[in-house]
Structure 1
Amino acid sequence: MDELEFLKKDWKRQEADLPKVSGDAIYKMIHKRSSSLMKWILYVSIFEFILWTAINILTTNKDTWESLQKIHLFEFEIITLLLQYAVLGFFIYLFYKNYKEVQTTDNTRHLMNRILKVRRTVNFYVAYNLILMFVIGLVVFFAMLFFDPDFEKVMVTAPDGSQTLPLAFIALIIGGLVVFLFLLWLFYKLLYGILLKRLKRNYKELNKLELRD
């Protein structure tokens, strides 16, 4: 049985032959678990930093840079990479700060506020990355549309001489972008979702504890 659940049930028991557990003991257990979860959020963010760095190194070569230059996205790619690392580094700092601050939290209300702040920070970080990837996807699409000569092969020429992209091709691009964003969301759900769910459960337990007091 989970140690916290045992303490909660033991606290509720009224039998005289069983020891009573104080609300303070319950708080200390939740505080310990919350601190551990925030530490793991910090570790996960560091892992993500290393993962994206490895992916960038393994997928970037001379041909990649030449392709980006051909569609006039070389500078855009550099700026985007710097922005990604800067933002991720900033959030790693926030996760570290939250972890250190929660260790010195000494009452239920402060711990509840800290848990809410951590959850908001993680959710904002995930939303930021999804929006950024969506914007990057659109920029790359339009850059290829205007500057990549290979796109001319899929253009449809109207009787008046104008060229347009087939609706099926546009739907394929949009569908591919949606699938990518969904997979990225699942990736973040796997990385942070379980930890946030457990923090939410801790928050609910703290709320019950405060109401009892």
Structure 2
Amino acid sequence: MPEFDLDSFKKTWQEQPVQPKYDYNEILKMLNKKSRNYMKYIFWISVAEFLFFTVLALFYIIKSNDSESFLSILEKMGVKKDIELETKLNHIYLLIKVLSLLVTGFFVVKFYLNYIKIKVQEDLKLFIIRIITFKKTVNAFILTNIGLLIVLILVLTGFAFYILNTQHIQLSNSEFTGFVAGIVASTILCIFLIWIYYRLVYGIIMSRLDKNLKQLKEIESQENIKS
């Protein structure tokens, strides 16, 4: 009976070719499908946001007292509240709400159009381009919402100074400093909260989409080398 050589057996076993668990097409199909699913999640989140803000806007339009908090700030600075002032302020709030809904609705449609263009079986290079386009749309959506917030604060600030000037109210140095400091602090806080929200809601999905994009680019580079 021949003697069993363990070292020789181990060497022979290690030299055996390892069959890949998935071939190229299967890996590509899985990455494409995952990426499409991530885009679908972002689309439905944006739809939920649109519906939420639509209901919220309708509620405040019916309730029509969302400008009271800002009016109370103006009253503390000596502004006299009247029907004309309330009407102008309500018009500003209504304009911002409508603009916000239009912007959100635009991006919902944009997300949907980008999503339906994604085909699991399409050309790898074209698929990568579509993912990059979708990422840019998401970033534009986030930046636009932050921009709308800044516009709202600037409009309300300009309106406040306009009313103060119209009613010939002079603020003391301490009052002016406190007012400006409050605006700056509230702006920074609101931007930070918006950033945190989108970081939590979209950040996790986008990081996974980035990972898939990186893997797809590696596959594409390998295919270019082979060709």
Read off the aligned partner of 1:209 and give its amino acid letter: I
Q: 1:178 aligns with which of 170, 185, 188?
A: 188
Answering whether residue 222 of structure 2 is matched by residue 212 of structure 1, we say yes
State the 1:143 CA deviation: 1.5
User: C-alpha distance in 1, partners of 2:110/2:161?
Assistant: 39
User: C-alpha distance in 1, partners of 2:49/2:159?
Assistant: 28
Q: Which of the pair has more CA radius of gyration?
A: 2
Change (3 A) 1:104 1:169: same
Read off the aligned partner of 1:70 and give its amino acid letter: L
User: C-alpha distance in 2, partners of 1:183/1:88?
Assistant: 18
Answering whether residue 117 of structure 2 is matched by residue 101 of structure 1, we say yes
- Aligned positions of 1:3-152 closer than 5 A: 16=17, 18-60=19-61, 61-64=63-66, 70=85, 72-103=88-119, 106-147=122-163
Change (3 A) 1:127 1:41: same
Q: Give the TM-score normalised by the residue count of structure 2.
A: 0.74
Residue pair 1:39, 1:99 contacting (<8 A) in 2 also? yes
Equivalences, count = 193
State the 1:104 CA deviation: 5.5
Read off the aligned partner of 1:43 and give its amino acid letter: W
State the 1:121 CA deviation: 0.4
State the 1:152 CA deviation: 9.1
State the 1:197 CA deviation: 1.2
Task: Please report the RMSD computed on the Cα atoms of aligned residues, expressed in angstroms.
Answer: 2.9
Instruction: Give the SS at the match of 1:103.
Output: coil
User: C-alpha distance in 2, partners of 1:58/1:64?
Assistant: 10
User: C-alpha distance in 2, partners of 1:15/1:96?
Assistant: 49
User: C-alpha distance in 2, partners of 1:86/1:104?
Assistant: 31
Q: Give the TM-score normalised by the residue count of structure 1.
A: 0.78
State the 1:19 CA deviation: 4.3
Question: For structure 2, which runs of at least 5 residues remain unmatched after alignment?
Answer: 1-14, 72-82
User: C-alpha distance in 2, partners of 1:65/1:17?
Assistant: 69
Residue pair 2:36, 2:120 contacting (<8 A) in 1 also? no
